[in-house]
């Protein structure tokens, strides 16, 4: 079994803790198609 920490992932408690300490927001997106997801990722990169 793969541990999520081995993949560089964190649980939501750790994610929010880092966001509060770093002074940044955590975005949340809903999408229905692959094209929508690609547009979200492209906008985030830009």
List, for residues 1-46, the tens digit of each pLDDT value.
Answer: 777 677 777 888 988 999 999 999 998 899 999 999 999 999 988 9
pLDDT at residue 11 in the model: 84
At 21, list the tokens.
Answer: 């300490």
Measure the CA–CA gap between 36 and 7, rounded to whole angstroms: 25
Upper half-sphere CA count for residue 18 (Cβ side, 13 Å): 8
How much is the pTM? 0.54
- Residue 6: per-residue pLDDT: 77
Residue 3 has what pLDDT?
A: 76
């Amino acid at each position: 079994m793969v541990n999520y920490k081995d993949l560089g992932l964190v649980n939501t408690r750790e994610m929010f803790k880092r966001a509060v300490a770093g002074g940044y927001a955590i975005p949340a997106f809903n999408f229905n198609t692959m094209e929508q997801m690609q547009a979200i990722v492209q906008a985030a990169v830009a």
